[in-house]
Amino acid sequence: MAGSPGDALARDVRKYVFDHFLEHAVPPVLEQIMERYHLERPDAFAVLKALEEARHLKLVPGTQRILMAFPFSAVATPFRTTRPVIGRRYYANCAWDAVAFHTMLHEIVRIESRCHHCAKPISIELAGGKSRASPPRPVVYLALPASQWWNDIVVTCSNHMVFFSSESHLDEWRKATQAPEGAILTIEETHALSMPIYKDKLKVGYVRPGKDQLVTHFQSLGLTAEFWRI
């Protein structure tokens, strides 16, 4: 996202969207973008569509409103992240995104969620890439292989990237629902997985890593199975 004036505008609007989410826990509306950057509605919407195509955000289908700017969610979800330093709370799109707030903010975060099987509360604190949790060993379950995540990112985040209070609860749920094997990650593994995508999200010059970079990162974590092929 650099080079032409249009690229620079998209870069600045992306940063504004993330800064607005960070300060207010909700996205800006299109009209705020129009006012801030002196744009007509079609031009402002074109910038948002370009950011959506580049996988920086997701719009509410059929509208000009922002639904997601990963890891932020504009709507209530079972994944809530708090910044204890300032007491601000955000909704994340999925279990992975809830953990990724720690990667993006480089500070202590607290996650409040629920087991996808039994709905009992899960509390997690992340500091320095390490977690403390209650129950003590929650896991992140990714149902869909990496190549399918973006087929419908709203469905993927809502239904296929979730917390379980333990592997035994995940096993019980999979047996009852005949869910796929998927991938099971600890909180620390999820944090490590998120590094190249999220660690620089709040920088104005952020560039989303490409396929080859992501595959290399997956491999560096020992994630070499077919599930992780993009």
**pLDDT reported for residue 2:** 43
Q: Which residues pair with 91 in a beta bridge?
A: 80
For the stretch 21-53, pLDDT in tens is 999 999 999 999 999 999 999 999 999 999 999
Strand order in the sheet with 130-134: 88-91, 80-83, 109-114, 121-127, 130-134
What average pLDDT does the chain have? Answer: 96
Going from the C-alpha of 62 to that of each of 27, 50, 66, 155, the distances in angstroms are 17, 15, 11, 16
Domains belonging to the chain, first-starting first, are 5-69 (1.10.10.10), 80-228 (3.30.450.410)
Long-range contacts (CB closer than 8 Å, 24 or more residues apart) made by 223-230: 223/183, 223/193, 226/145, 227/145, 227/146, 227/182, 227/183, 228/145, 228/146, 228/183, 229/145, 229/146, 229/147, 230/146, 230/147
pLDDT-derived band of residue 5, with 50, 70 and 90 as boundaries?
low
Q: Is the pLDDT of residue 151 over 50?
A: yes
Q: H or E segment at 108?
A: none
pLDDT-derived band of residue 178, with 50, 70 and 90 as boundaries?
very high
Give the mean pLDDT of 161-170. 98
**pLDDT reported for residue 3:** 43
**pLDDT reported for residue 207:** 94
For the stretch 106-129, pLDDT in tens is 999 999 999 999 999 999 999 999
